[in-house]
Amino acid sequence: MSQALLVWHHGFSEHYG
pLDDT for 4 equals 94
pLDDT tens track for 2-16:
999 999 999 999 888
Task: Give me the torsion for CA of 6, 11, 15, 17, rounded to 10°.
Answer: 20
pLDDT for 9 equals 92
Is residue 17 very low, low, confident or very high in pLDDT (cuts 50, 70, 90)? Answer: confident
Spell out a b/e string for 4-17, using b for 16 or more CB atoms within 10 Å of the CB, else e: eeeeeeeeeeeeee
pLDDT for 14 equals 87
pTM of the complete model beyond 0.85: no
- DSSP string covering 1-17, please? --HHHHHHHHHHHHHH-
pLDDT for 7 equals 92
The amino acid at 3: Q
